Amino acid sequence: MSMVYSYIFRKENFYLYRNMQRQAASMKRNLFNQEYLDEQFNELEELQDDDNPNFVEEVVNLFFTDSVRLIRNIDLALANGPYDFGRLDDMMHQFKGSSSSIGAKRVKRECSQFQEYCNERNIEGCKRAFQGVKQEYATLKTKLDTYFQITREAS
Amino acid sequence: MMENSKTIAGFSSPRTDIFPAGLRVLVVDDDPTWLKILEKMLKKCSYEVTTCGLAREALYLLRERKDGFDIVISDVNMPDMDGFKLLEHVGLEMDLPVIMMSVDGETSRVMKGVQHGACDYLLKPIRMKELRNIWQHVLRKKMQEARDVGNHELDQYDEMWMLNGVERLSGKKRKDFENKHDEKEMSDSRCVDSSSMKKARVVWTVDLHQKFVKAVNQIGFDKVGPKKILDLMGIPWLTRENVASHLQKYRLYLTRLQKEDEVKASFCGMKHPDVSCKETSSSLSLQNPVDVCTDVTKDKYSGDSGDKAIVQNGKSNIYESKVKGVVLMPVTEPRSVVGDNFDSQVAGSKIGLTESFGLVNTDVESANLPIPYCSTGEAPQPQYKQDFKPHFQSANGSSHQPLPVVSHQIPVDRTQATCFLNHIPSREERNRHPDAENKPSFFKSKCGVVGNFSPIESTVNLFQPVSQQQRNVHILEQMPSTTWSARSCNVVNGPQSSPGNLSLRSGSMVASVGEDVCGASIQGECFLANNGLRNIEQFDYNDPQPISGVPTCLYDTLRFDYEYPIDSLEGIVMDQGLFIV
Q: How far is B286 from chain A (nearest CA, A)?
A: 10
Size of interface A-B (CB pairs under 8 A): 69
Q: Could you read off the pLDDT of B513-529 as tens digits, one per residue?
A: 333 333 333 333 333 33
Residue B70: DSSP 8-state: S
User: Of B162 and B146, which is predicted with more confidence?
Assistant: B146
In percent, the amount of chain B with pLDDT more than 70 equals 33
Q: How far is B415 from chain A (nearest CA, A)?
A: 23
Q: Supply the pLDDT for residue B201.
A: 63
User: Of A63 and B580, which is predicted with more confidence?
Assistant: A63
Please indicate whether, in this complex, the C-beta atoms of B30 and A94 are within 8 angstroms of each other.
yes
pLDDT over threshold 60, residue B530: no
Please indicate whether, in this complex, the C-beta atoms of B571 and A63 are within 8 angstroms of each other.
no
pLDDT class for B137, splitting at 50, 70, 90? very high
For range A118-128, the mean pLDDT: 94
CA-based nearest residue in chain A for residue B4: A51
Please indicate whether, in this complex, the C-beta atoms of B124 and A100 are within 8 angstroms of each other.
yes
Please indicate whether, in this complex, the C-beta atoms of B37 and A47 are within 8 angstroms of each other.
yes
Average per-residue pLDDT for chain B = 55
User: Of B118 and B8, which is predicted with more confidence?
Assistant: B118
Please indicate whether, in this complex, the C-beta atoms of B33 and A73 are within 8 angstroms of each other.
no
Instruction: Write out chain A residues lying below 8 Å of B77, CB-based.
Output: 90, 93-94, 97
Q: Supply the pLDDT for residue A97.
A: 93
Most confidently modeled range among B65-79, B195-209, B560-574 = B65-79
Q: Report the 3 state secondary structure along B425-494.
A: CCEEECCCCCCCCCCCEEEECCCCCEEECCCCCCCEEEEECCCCCCCCCEEEEEECCEEEECCCCCCCCC
Q: Supply the pLDDT for residue A19.
A: 86
Q: Could you read off the pLDDT of B80-108 as tens digits, one per residue?
A: 888 888 998 888 888 899 999 998 888 88
Instruction: Write out chain A residues lying below 8 Å of B290, CB-based.
Output: none
**Cβ burial, residue A134 (10 Å; 0-12/13-18/19+):** middle
Q: Supply the pLDDT for residue B152.
A: 52
CA-based nearest residue in chain B for residue A103: B125
pLDDT over threshold 70, residue A78: yes
**pTM for this model (two decimals):** 0.46
- Nearest 5°: phi and psi at B388? -70, -25
Q: Supply the pLDDT for residue A139.
A: 96
Mapping DSSP to helix (H, G, I), strand (E, B) and coil, where does residue B310 land? Answer: strand
Interface residues on B facing A, Cβ-Cβ cutoff 8 A: 30-34, 36-37, 40-41, 44, 75, 77, 102-104, 124-125, 127-128, 285, 287, 567-568, 570-571
Q: Supply the pLDDT for residue B256.
A: 74
Q: Supply the pLDDT for residue B445.
A: 35
pLDDT over threshold 70, residue B567: no
Please indicate whether, in this complex, the C-beta atoms of A91 and B570 are within 8 angstroms of each other.
yes
Find the helix or strand (DSSP H, E) in which B398 lies: none
| Beta strands B427-429 and B441-444, pairing class | unpaired
Mapping DSSP to helix (H, G, I), strand (E, B) and coil, where does residue B72 land? Answer: strand
Q: How far is A104 from chain B (nearest CA, A)?
A: 11
Among A34-43, A67-76, B31-40, B493-502, whose mean pLDDT is lowest? B493-502
For range B53-80, the mean pLDDT: 91
Q: Supply the pLDDT for residue B51.
A: 95
**A55 vs B40, B287, B568: nearest CB:** B40
Q: Supply the pLDDT for residue B237.
A: 80
Cβ neighbour number for residue B447 with a 10 Å cutoff: 12
For range A98-108, the mean pLDDT: 95
Most confidently modeled range among A7-11, B1-5, B132-136 = B132-136
User: Of B252 and B581, which is predicted with more confidence?
Assistant: B252
pLDDT class for B330, splitting at 50, 70, 90? very low
Taking every pair of Cα atoms in chain A, the longest distance, rounded to a whole number of angstroms, is: 78
| Alpha-carbon span B369 to B554, nearest angstrom | 8
User: Of B528 and A12, which is predicted with more confidence?
Assistant: A12
Please indicate whether, in this complex, the C-beta atoms of A62 and B34 are within 8 angstroms of each other.
no
Average per-residue pLDDT for chain A = 91
CA-based nearest residue in chain A for residue B103: A97
pLDDT class for B260, splitting at 50, 70, 90? low
Q: Could you read off the pLDDT of B455-474 as tens digits, one per residue?
A: 333 333 334 343 433 433 34
CA dist list (Å): B7 to B22, B25, B133, B496: 13, 19, 18, 59
Q: Supply the pLDDT for residue B188.
A: 41
pLDDT over threshold 50, residue B410: no
pLDDT over threshold 80, residue B438: no
Q: Supply the pLDDT for residue B525.
A: 37
Among B8, B37, B41, B42, the strongest candidate for a mutation testing the A interface, having the largest count of A CBs within 10 A, is B37
| Alpha-carbon span B231 to B499, nearest angstrom | 52
- Could you give the ipTM of this predicted complex? 0.92
pLDDT over threshold 50, residue B292: no
Among A20-24, B147-151, B184-188, B412-416, whose mean pLDDT is lowest? B412-416
pLDDT class for A58, splitting at 50, 70, 90? very high
pLDDT class for B534, splitting at 50, 70, 90? very low
Q: How far is B4 from chain A (nearest CA, A)?
A: 12
CA-based nearest residue in chain B for residue A69: B567
Q: Supply the pLDDT for residue B263.
A: 61
Please indicate whether, in this complex, the C-beta atoms of A98 and B34 are within 8 angstroms of each other.
yes
Q: How far is B409 from chain A (nearest CA, A)?
A: 29
pLDDT over threshold 90, residue A40: yes
Most confidently modeled range among B37-51, B231-245, B317-331, B426-440 = B37-51
pLDDT class for B269, splitting at 50, 70, 90? very low
For range A54-81, the mean pLDDT: 93
| Beta strands B318-321 and B309-313, pairing class | unpaired
| Alpha-carbon span B306 to B271, nearest angstrom | 6
Q: How far is B103 from chain A (nearest CA, A)?
A: 5
Q: Supply the pLDDT for residue B334.
A: 39
pLDDT class for B357, splitting at 50, 70, 90? very low
**A101 vs B30, B125, B285: nearest CB:** B125
Q: Supply the pLDDT for residue B281.
A: 36
User: Of B374 and B179, which is predicted with more confidence?
Assistant: B179
Instruction: Write out chain B residues lying below 8 Å of A39, CB-based.
Output: 125
